[in-house]
Amino acid sequence: MNISFRDLTVYKKAFSLAMEIFEISKKFPVEEKFGLTSQIRNSSRSVCSSVAEAYRKRKYPAHFISKISDADMENSETQVWLDFSLECKYIDSKLYKDLLIKSEEV
């Protein structure tokens, strides 16, 4: 059986979260287009790409650890942008908590 990175639970959850953030960020103010909107979309998507890259490097422990560390770093960055989104009142506290829980699961 040939397993793909797309079959990994962590990838599925990270991808789902990135897509949810994408949809939510469509409602952010236009002046945030090159700021918060771009940053939160990029960091959430980078979690997925780093997981995929780590999966491909799984036979090389140092490379695998490096890529998994990158995924964790990008996930932490996404949480920071969620903090800003809440404080700027672009999302409410209920949505913030839901997204943060999903991010922690990743």
Say what percent of the chain tops pLDDT 90. 95
User: What does pTM read for this prediction?
Assistant: 0.93
Burial call 78-104: b when 16+ CB within 10 Å, e when fewer: bbebbeebbeeebbeeeebeebeeebe
Work out the average pLDDT over 60-81: 97
Work out the average pLDDT over 85-101: 98
- Please determine, for residue 1, whether its predicted confidence score (pLDDT) is greater than 80: no
The gap from C-alpha 50 to its chain's centroid, in whole angstroms, comes to 10
Domain that holds residue 78: 5-105
The pLDDT, as a whole number, for residue 29 is 95
The pLDDT, as a whole number, for residue 2 is 81
Residues 7-48 have pLDDT tens digits of: 999 999 999 999 999 999 999 999 999 899 999 999 999 999
Q: What is the CATH number of the domain that holds 49?
A: 1.20.1440.60
Looking up tokens 């780093």, which residue turns up?
50
d(CA 17, CA 82): 12
Split into its structural domains, the chain has a count of 1
Sign, Cα dihedral of 76, 77, 80, 81? negative
